[in-house]
Structure 1
């Protein structure tokens, strides 16, 4: 079972087909075992729990075996990502969800898979958002808020031209823009854009494009460049992720 979905700036899956080697990326990632507990290795420490969120830029590895799990990569600059970082992770490498709420998520997932089977993940995702919902958030510097909006609306094939365009629009040098972004978000601008491009590739593949066309149309030099970056960032090959998968849209 390998069902992939995109929800806003986040991408996730309900799957028993994950074998992710040791890796790290600048996104947050939540894992929920659909039944019983999962086992994950974070910075060399083996952890057993029902549900966990891994912080950005933290080394981890994970395998589902034959057991179905829910996982979602979360944009750390989104409201959900910022809430998780500020109120739950608080600079720690991971956060383990409370037992009672994790069991609630497990029941919802199990019901969806075994009973509902509607391919609509809205209720599952809504409950993940609800768990971490917190209204008290300080906005980024207004220039960064504007920049994030630009990144989601300005579509260039190349990262360099995208940065140049945004820096020019904001009357900043490219180096000052990069410094300000890292200062406000804690994330290197180039690393953030790589993940932005990766999400773009999967969105295009969801829409029926080939891996090569999607990679070239999202700022990668070639499909091989995309494959290398994807493996480095996710611990998995793109073809293994895509193979035998169903691609779904999710919203709520």
Structure 2
């Protein structure tokens, strides 16, 4: 991985970001992947760890004033970035998941953008040729990381809180004080505890879950407006703004050209 001095306009003039988004996607709560052709995208930050692997040319990540070129790279959740690439594989890991915890145990610093260790990049390359279901891909990844290192145990109270939050997506949800009472913490202490455990604020995580639920519904054939309302967005425009902020591309530009793997 190295710092690049070429301007963004030069990168775009080479056609690296002039294509539409098109490819295959698999998604469920906790894990998702995209494989295919990249298109235009603006600077964005999503609440999932992302591992990106080249399919042909090396790609470039732009984060702030830094441009990094690599064959395989890790982008932590919440880090603003833009991707300049042709065809690539992206894997997304919910930071609260066991799989994300296992992945981060293999990295020097899970809080910064970095090149993936060759062993992990090679493993992800093998997934490119797999026709497995999204659930089997998740299990393959989990088995790989568990095999190579013992995973740290998390606070046993976290699964209880995550279960409550996920069950409430699209409905009236518990107030922070009510969640705190479930695990005998004060309101203020709960906010710090949740961020320590997950790496993100409660409000951001809830929005991320709503976005994933809406995205799943659209990929399953629902209209954008029905999916937005079912996931708890005030309207379709609210959903579109959130989607653009977290993925750097509008749902209208991305979703029509995707095929879903179940």
TM-score calculated relative to the size of structure 2: 0.78
Partner of 1:246 in structure 2? 259
The verdict on how the C-alpha distance between 1:163 and 1:44 changes in structure 2, with shifts beyond 3 A counting, is: same
Secondary structure in structure 1 of the residue aligned to 2:74: strand
Indicate whether 1:200 and 2:219 are aligned. Answer: no
Shift of residue 235 of structure 1?
Answer: 1.0
Q: 1:19 aligns with which of 22, 40, 58?
A: 40
Instruction: Give the gaps of 5 or more residues in structure 1.
Output: 113-117
Distance 2:153 2:24 in 1: 35
Q: Is the 8 A contact 1:40 1:48 kept in 2?
A: yes
The verdict on how the C-alpha distance between 1:73 and 1:19 changes in structure 2, with shifts beyond 3 A counting, is: farther
Partner of 2:80 in structure 1? 59
Indicate whether 1:90 and 2:109 are aligned. Answer: yes
Distance 1:216 1:80 in 2: 30
Secondary structure in structure 2 of the residue aligned to 1:20: coil
Secondary structure in structure 1 of the residue aligned to 2:107: helix
Partner of 1:137 in structure 2? 152
Q: Is the 8 A contact 1:206 1:248 kept in 2?
A: no
Partner of 2:242 in structure 1? 229
Q: Deviations over 1:12-55 (max 9, x none)?
A: 21120343211223321111112353222234322222211111
Distance 1:145 1:62 in 2: 33
Q: Is the 8 A contact 1:30 1:71 kept in 2?
A: yes
Partner of 1:188 in structure 2? 201
Secondary structure in structure 1 of the residue aligned to 2:242: helix
Partner of 1:4 in structure 2? 25
TM-score calculated relative to the size of structure 1: 0.80
Shift of residue 124 of structure 1?
Answer: 5.5
Q: Deviations over 1:158-187 (max 9, x none)?
A: 4x5465664565565654433321233331
Q: Is the 8 A contact 1:55 1:85 kept in 2?
A: no
Shift of residue 128 of structure 1?
Answer: 4.2
Number of aligned residues: 239
The verdict on how the C-alpha distance between 1:204 and 1:138 changes in structure 2, with shifts beyond 3 A counting, is: same
Partner of 2:7 in structure 1? none
Partner of 1:115 in structure 2? none
Indicate whether 1:214 and 2:227 are aligned. Answer: yes
